[in-house]
Copies of this chain bind each other. A is one copy, B any other.
Amino acid sequence: MKGGEAPASGGAERRMKSYLKELECPKCHRKYDAAKVNNLCECGGPLIAKYDLGALRREFDPATWSSRPNDLWRYWELLPLLSRDSVVTLGEGGTPVLRMPRMGKAYGLRELFLKDEGINPTGTFKCRGAAVGVSKARELGVKVVAMPTAGNAGAAWAAYAARAGLRLTVAMPEDAPRVTQAECLAYGADTWLVKGLISDAGKVVHQRAVKEGWFEVATLKEPYRIEGKKTMGFEIWEAFEGRLPAAIIYPTGGGVGLIGMWKAFNELKEAGFLSGPLPKMVAVQAAGCAPIVRAFEEGKDKAEFFEGAHTVAAGIRVPSAIGDFLVLDAIRSSGGLALSVTDAEILETWKQVARLEGMLICPEGAAAVRAARVIREMELVGPDDPVLVLNTGAGAKYTELLGEKARRIEDSAS
Contact = CB atoms under 8 A, between A and B. Distances in A.
A269 interface: no
A358 B162 contact: yes
A259 B358 CA distance: 28
Contacts of A400: 182
Contacts of A192: 406-409, 412
A83 interface: no
A121 interface: yes
B174 A98 contact: no
A71 interface: yes
Which of under 10, 10 to 19, 20 to 34, or 35 or more describes the interface residues of A?
35 or more
B358 A407 contact: no
Contact of A91 (B89, B98, B161): B98
Contacts of A191: 406-407
B97 A70 contact: no
Contact of A1 (B66, B119, B161, B354): B66
A357 interface: yes
Contacts of A257: none
A206 interface: no
Contacts of A121: 116, 118-119, 359
A94 B97 contact: no
A356 interface: yes
A150 interface: no
A186 interface: yes
A324 interface: no
16 contacts: A1-B239, A2-B94, A2-B239, A5-B98, A5-B99, A6-B97, A6-B239, A7-B243, A70-B70, A155-B396, A161-B358, A181-B406, A185-B406, A186-B395, A192-B406, A192-B407
